[in-house]
Structure 1
Amino acid sequence: MIDELRTERLLLRPLTLDDADEYFRVYSDPRTWDHLPSGRHTSLEQSVRAIQRSTDSQGRFGFGHCAVVLRDDVEGLTAGSFLGSAGAAMLEFEAWNLGYRFSPEAWGRGFATEAALAALDAARRARPDIPVTARVLATNSASLRVLERLDVELVWRGRSAKAPAHDGDTAHLERFIFADRPIDADTLDAVIALG
C-alpha cells in the first residue's frame, strides 16, 4: 500500500474525510469544471462520497486519489496549502484511471504535471500488472498538455455517441484516451464507454 508520495514541491497523501471541506472547495469551484460544468460538486456529500471511493481504492488496490499539499511556501501560496487531488482509482474492470484537479490558485505552476507523474508511478508500483489509463476532453487543453508530458500514449480519440443520453453524459464530446501500455480491445471499449 502506498501511503505517502513526495515530489520536489508536493506531498501526496491518501485523502481522508478530514479533507472534505477543502476537497469540496476545489471540486465545487465552477472554474475547475469549465470543460464539464455538470461534473461540479454541488454538495459536500458528493465530495464525501468521492473521498470514500478513494479510501476504498486505497484499501483494496493499494492506491487511490491523494490530497495534494504544498510542502514549502511558493509565491502566493503557503506551505501546507491544500492544492487539490491527484491519483488513480481502479475502474470496475482491470484498469487504473489517472486523474487530477487543482484549485485555480495553483494553476500554471506545473503542479498537475508533478503530481500526475508521481501518481502514475505509484499506480504502476501498487499494481504493475494493471494498465494506467487517463481520459480528457479535447477542449481541456491544459489537462491534455499534462498528459502529453507523462509516459503515456494516445490510444483513442473520438466520440462514442452523437447526443448525450442523460445530463452529465460526455460520450458525445470529443475525448482523448491515453494509456501507459498497449491495452486490449475489450479494455479500450470499456474505457470509451465511460464517457
Structure 2
Amino acid sequence: MSVQERKQRERADRERLIVATARELAEQQGWDAVTTRRLAERIEYSQPVLYSHFRGKREIIGAVALQGATELATAVRTATTTATNPRARVTALARTYLDFAATHPAVYDAIFQLDGGLPYAQDNTPEPLKDAFAALQETLTTVAGHNTHPGLFTEVFWAALHGIATLTREGRLPPEDTQQRLDLIVDRLAVL
C-alpha cells in the first residue's frame, strides 16, 4: 500500500469517526449538543482536523442525513420484500418508516428536519436521498391507482407518515393509536 493510499484510508476512517460520533452524541443529547469543539474532544483530534473534513456542523448533519437515508432505504426494502401482498407491503413500509423515526430520532431529524445543506427533490439531490424516496415509491406505485402520479402519491403518503412520526414524538398524538392511524392511511390512500 502506498503512502497516498494509506493517507486516504486514514482520512476516510477519521471522517467515519466524526460522523459516527456526531450521530451518537445527537442521539444521546440532541443536535444542540453537537458542536465542533465537543466533537473534536470526543474523537481526540483538533478542531482544524475536523474542519479539514467538514466546514462545520451543517455539513456533519448532511453526512448523517445521507447515512441515515441509506439505512432507511435498506430497512424499507427489507421489510417490504418479505410481505406477501400489496396491503402487507404498504403496512410494512409504514411501520418500518415510523419505527425508524422513533428508534433514530436524531438521524430522522438530520434527514427530514434540519438543514444539512442538501438539496431535496432536485436534479442534484444526492443519491442516498433519491434512493430513500425510491424505496418508498417502489412499493407505493403498486397501490397509487391508475390516474394518480406515483411520485405525487408517494409524497402524500410520506407526508402523512412524517406527520404521524413527528407529532407522536412531540407528544401531540397518543402513541397507543399509531396502528389505527396506519390502518387509516393504508385504507384511505392505497388502492388495494
TM-score, scaled to structure 1: 0.29
Would you tell me which structure has more helix in proportion to its own residues?
2
Would you tell me which structure has more strand in proportion to its own residues?
1
